Amino acid sequence: MSKYFLLAFLFVGCCALNDRPIVGILFQEVDDEVKEYGESYLMSAYVTWVEESGGRVVPIKVGEDEAYYKDLFDKINGVLLPGGAVRIDNSAYEVAAEYLYKYAIKANDNGDYFPIWGTCLGMEELTFLTAKKDIMTQCSSENITVPLNFVRDFKESKLYKNAPEDAIRILKNEHVTSNFHTNCITPKVHENNYKLSNFYKILSTNIDRHGIEFVSSMEAYDYPIYGLQFHPEKNNFMFSTNKNIPHTYHAIRISQYFSNFFINETRKNNHKFPTIKEEAAALINNLRTIMLPPPAMHEDYFLPINKKSATETKSSFNDQFSLGTKKESLVSIAGAKSVAIWMGIAISCIVVIVLVLKIKTSHGKNTSEYVKLKSDETFLFGSNEQRSSLA
């Protein structure tokens, strides 16, 4: 009897869920709304959405080298790819997501259960990483709330099979899903893309303002990877004065359901930091938020971007620079500056030649005329100090 008790004890011990899960949430390059505050940002609503279900959060920086992402991946229990406005290709957000996606696939293939959650842009990024190309369709679903149209066998999915009946009823019949996207994946595009249709199962769809059907929730067949085109975190934590976000009891209930589901998924691996001290130092609680004024009315975290790593980091799938456009901009600025300097030198040389010729041709003229010439030169070309500042 004691032998069986010991075996049972060992089984429970080795398979116990992690009660201190840490989620890495990816930052992204700033957009126009917040560019005055920093180089990369994360809306705090994603953090509180994770924390409300017992998770903790570590920020994942963009623009770092691969070693940074691999090291952090081994210490966290899940990844959240948030919504936003950056490109799903050729951005620092894409490069970082690509590394994390690659590590998650490999880990799960090796029996190490590691979940990824994508919200809005995050879901779109997941389709890009799987399909290896941008297959987005333009749609009009900005600032609308809609009930979900579930597919026939949605209850067989990991995401919905254990959902309470009242939660399913709310999702089916009430306007509790906040949509803020102008791009989407259509079921037809999903079906016609072999890589995508064999990797992800569509769980629900919706219709945009112009009658375009789009995928609103999906999950991978063989991996704990999930995508929502809508924003569950906004229901609980976003109170913008110019956005259509539901804050009813039922809307909060739905937000909480998705949060609980994802955090429970992150409890299924035992990745951890080597020491409590290192863990504490890595948590996002060490950062301060900035409250954006109305109509935004939300708090954001901001971090600098490692410029050197960002311009040198290459995409592991398409072998191109992650910040190619930014690098080209820097080169263009440097080139323009060089041209300005050489133009200044050329102008100075012309002035000297003109002066010499004038002096030779007006040898007999008085000094006042020479002074007038210098005055004209300053009027036409600016002073030496002015030319230097232009260069």
Q: What is the pLDDT of residue 349?
A: 56
Q: What is the pLDDT of residue 75?
A: 99
Residue-by-residue pLDDT tens, the chain, 391 positions: 444 344 443 444 445 789 999 999 999 999 777 778 899 999 999 999 999 999 999 999 999 999 999 999 999 999 999 999 899 999 999 999 999 999 999 999 999 999 999 999 999 999 999 999 999 999 998 889 999 999 999 999 999 999 999 999 999 999 999 998 999 999 999 999 999 999 999 999 999 999 999 999 999 999 999 999 999 999 898 887 668 898 999 999 999 999 999 999 999 999 999 999 999 999 999 999 998 888 777 899 999 998 666 555 444 434 333 333 333 333 333 344 444 455 555 565 565 555 545 544 444 444 444 333 333 333 333 444 333 333 3
Residue 352 class from Cβ within 10 Å (0-12 exposed, 13-18 middle, 19+ buried)?
Answer: exposed
| Residues forming the active site | 120, 231
In the chain, the amino acid numbered 92 is: A
18 DSSP assignment: P
Q: What is the pLDDT of residue 295?
A: 77
Bridge partners (DSSP) of residue 213 are 207
Total-model pTM: 0.76
Alpha helices in 86-209 (DSSP H): 92-109, 121-131, 165-173, 187-192, 194-197
Q: How far is CA 367 from CA 200, 362, 364, 384, in A?
A: 86, 10, 9, 22
Distance CA 387, CA 391 (A): 6
**Where exactly are the structural domains of the chain?**
12-322, 329-390
Q: What is the pLDDT of residue 368?
A: 42
Q: Can you tell me which residue has the tokens 């133009």?
A: 343
Q: Does domain 12-322 have CATH number 1.10.1200.10?
A: no
Q: What is the pLDDT of residue 322?
A: 34
Q: What is the pLDDT of residue 147?
A: 96
Q: What is the pLDDT of residue 211?
A: 95
Helix (H, G, I), strand (E, B) or coil at 263: helix
Q: How many CB atoms lie within 10 A of CB 278?
A: 11
Positions of E strands within the chain? 22-26, 28-29, 40-43, 56-60, 78-81, 116-119, 137-146, 149-150, 177-184, 200-207, 213-220, 225-228, 289-291, 299-303
